[in-house]
C-alpha cells in the first residue's frame, strides 16, 4: 500500500531532467484541474510531494510505485533513456495501474519496451486529458468539470508558449569518440610515465637509505636504465668541463684516457701555448719543463671533479660491461667504437 494514510495515491513517474515540464503538468492538471492536494500525489521532484530530507530515495520510490493506485508515466525521450523510469513503467504496467502520456511531438516509432503495444496519446490531446480525469474520479477524488477544464486550458497554454521536455542529449559523434580516445591514450601514456618515475624514485630512495659510502651514494643517484645512466654520466662530464678552460679540459681527458699531453711548438700554436702558460701560472695545469708534458692539477676541486666524471664515464663505456644492444646503439649513434680513450669517441660524445 501507499504511504498515504488519507486514501489512494497518484504516482507521477518522470525523468528528473524533465522537471519543469512535469511540474507544469502536475500544477495545472492535477492540482488546479483535479483539485488534488500534496498528500494525494507522489512526485519526487517536489519537496512537499516527494521524499523527505534524509530518507532513502530509491526505497521510497519503490514503495510508492508498488502501492500507488494510479501511475502517470510522463513519457519523453529522456524518460525512456533512464533505467529507473523504465523500471517504474514496467511495474505499473504489470499491476495494470499505468496511464502513459506521450510528450507532444514524439512519434510512436520512438517508443520502446512495453509502450509500442499500448494505446498512448500525446499530453496535449484533450481526449487523453479527459480520460485521465475519469481515472482520477474512479479513485474516489471529486472535483468540478469546470476546474479541470481550467487546468487543462492552463496546461495547453503552457505548451503553446513553448514548454517542452528536456532534449535528449545526442550520442557522441565519431569525431567526439576519436578525440576522447586520443585523450584517453595520452592520459594513459602520461600515467605510465609517472608510474615509471615513481618506481625509479622509490628505488633511488631505497638505495640512498642503505648507502654508507660516497660511492654507494653516487651509485644510488644514477638511473638504473643503461641508456639513462649513460646520459646522466655524459651530462655530468659536460657540466664539469664547462667550469674549465679548453686546455684544462683537454688535459683532464688526456689524464683520464691514460695519454700524454705536451706543450706544442710556440711557432705553430702561439695561442695554445699562451693558454697553457696562463693555466700553469694559475696552478690548474702542471707543466714539466724537461719534457713539456702537461697534466691537470687534481688538487683543484673543479679539476678533480671533472677528472672523476670523465673517468667514471670512461669506465662505464667498457666493451663487455654493457649489453650488446647498447654497444650496437652507441656505435650506430656516434659512429665510433665505444672507447672514450680514442679522440674520435671523445669528440663525438662530449
Does residue 149 share a domain with residue 18?
yes
Torsional sign, CA 104, 106, 107, 112:
negative
User: In this predicted structure, what is the pLDDT of residue 114?
Assistant: 76
User: In this predicted structure, what is the pLDDT of residue 294?
Assistant: 94
> Is there a domain that residue 276 lies in?
yes
User: In this predicted structure, what is the pLDDT of residue 37?
Assistant: 92
Does residue 230 share a domain with residue 110?
no
DSSP labels, 95-126? HT-EEEEEPTT--GGG--TTGGGS--EETT-H
Which of 160, 184, 203 is the last residue in one of the domains?
160
Does residue 190 share a domain with residue 93?
no
The pTM of the full predicted model, rounded to 2 decimals, is 0.49
- Under 8 Å CB-to-CB from 159, ≥6 apart: which residues? 104, 123, 124
CATH code of the domain in which 80 resides: 3.40.50
> Is there a domain that residue 165 lies in?
no
- Provide the domain count of the chain: 3
Does residue 323 share a domain with residue 188?
no
Of 64, 63, 70, 59, nearest to 93 by C-alpha is 70
Does residue 132 share a domain with residue 181?
no
User: In this predicted structure, what is the pLDDT of residue 115?
Assistant: 81
Q: Where are the beta strands (DSSP E) in the chain?
A: 10-13, 41-42, 70-75, 98-102, 121-122, 261-262, 285-287, 293-296
Nearest-angstrom CA–CA distance, 67 and 9: 8
User: In this predicted structure, what is the pLDDT of residue 341?
Assistant: 92
Nearest-angstrom CA–CA distance, 35 and 29: 9
> Is there a domain that residue 5 lies in?
no
Task: Give the chain's residues under pLDDT 70.
Answer: 1-7, 46-57, 204, 207-209, 211-224
Torsional sign, CA 11, 16, 18, 19:
positive
Range of the structural domain that residue 228 is part of: 222-349
pLDDT in tens, 47-59: 545 455 555 557 7
On the CB side of 89, CA atoms within 13 Å amount to 24
DSSP H/E element including 10 = strand 10-13
Does residue 128 share a domain with residue 152?
yes
User: In this predicted structure, what is the pLDDT of residue 4?
Assistant: 42
Amino acid at each position: 500500500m501507499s504511504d498515504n494514510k488519507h486514501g489512494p495515491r497518484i504516482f507521477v513517474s518522470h525523468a528528473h531532467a524533465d522537471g519543469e515540464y512535469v511540474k507544469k503538468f502536475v500544477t495545472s492538471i492535477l492540482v488546479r484541474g483535479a483539485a488534488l492536494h500534496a498528500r494525494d500525489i507522489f512526485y519526487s521532484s517536489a519537496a512537499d510531494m516527494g521524499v523527505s530530507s534524509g530518507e532513502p530515495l530509491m526505497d521510497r520510490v519503490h514503495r510508492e510505485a508498488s502501492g500507488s493506485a494510479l501511475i502517470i508515466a510522463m513519457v519523453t525521450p529522456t524518460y525512456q533513456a533512464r533505467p529507473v523510469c523504465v523500471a517504474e513503467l514496467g511495474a505499473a504496467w504489470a499491476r495494470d495501474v499505468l496511464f502513459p502520456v506521450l510528450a507532444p511531438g514524439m512519434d510512436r516509432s520512438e517508443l520502446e519496451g512495453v509502450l509500442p503495444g499500448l494505446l498512448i496519446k500525446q499530453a496535449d490531446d484533450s481526449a487523453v486529458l479527459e480520460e485521465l480525469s475519469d481515472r482520477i474520479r474512479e479513485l474516489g477524488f471529486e472535483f468540478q468539470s469546470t476546474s479541470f477544464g481550467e487546468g487543462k486550458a492552463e496546461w495547453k497554454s503552457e505548451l503553446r508558449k513553448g514548454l517542452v521536455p528536456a532534449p535528449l542529449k545526442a550520442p557522441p559523434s565519431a569525431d567526439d569518440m576519436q578525440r576522447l580516445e586520443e585523450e584517453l591514450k595520452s592520459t594513459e601514456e602520461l600515467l605510465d610515465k609517472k608510474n615509471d618515475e615513481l618506481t625509479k624514485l622509490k628505488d633511488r630512495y631505497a638505495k640512498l637509505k642503505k648507502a654508507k659510502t660516497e660511492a654507494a651514494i653516487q651509485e644510488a643517484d644514477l638511473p638504473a636504465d643503461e641508456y639513462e645512466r649513460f646520459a646522466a654520466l655524459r651530462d655530468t662530464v659536460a657540466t664539469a668541463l664547462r667550469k674549465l678552460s679548453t686546455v684544462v679540459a683537454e688535459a683532464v681527458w688526456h689524464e683520464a684516457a691514460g695519454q700524454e699531453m705536451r706543450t706544442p711548438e710556440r711557432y705553430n700554436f702561439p695561442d695554445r701555448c699562451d693558454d697553457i702558460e696562463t693555466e700553469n701560472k694559475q696552478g690548474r695545469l702542471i707543466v714539466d719543463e724537461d719534457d713539456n708534458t702537461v697534466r691537470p692539477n687534481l688538487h683543484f676541486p673543479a679539476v678533480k671533479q671533472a677528472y672523476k666524471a670523465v673517468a667514471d664515464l670512461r669506465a662505464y663505456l667498457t666493451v663487455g660491461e654493457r649489453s650488446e644492444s647498447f654497444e650496437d646503439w652507441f656505435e650506430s649513434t656516434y659512429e665510433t667504437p665505444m672507447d672514450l680513450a680514442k679522440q674520435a669517441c671523445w669528440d663525438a660524445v662530449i
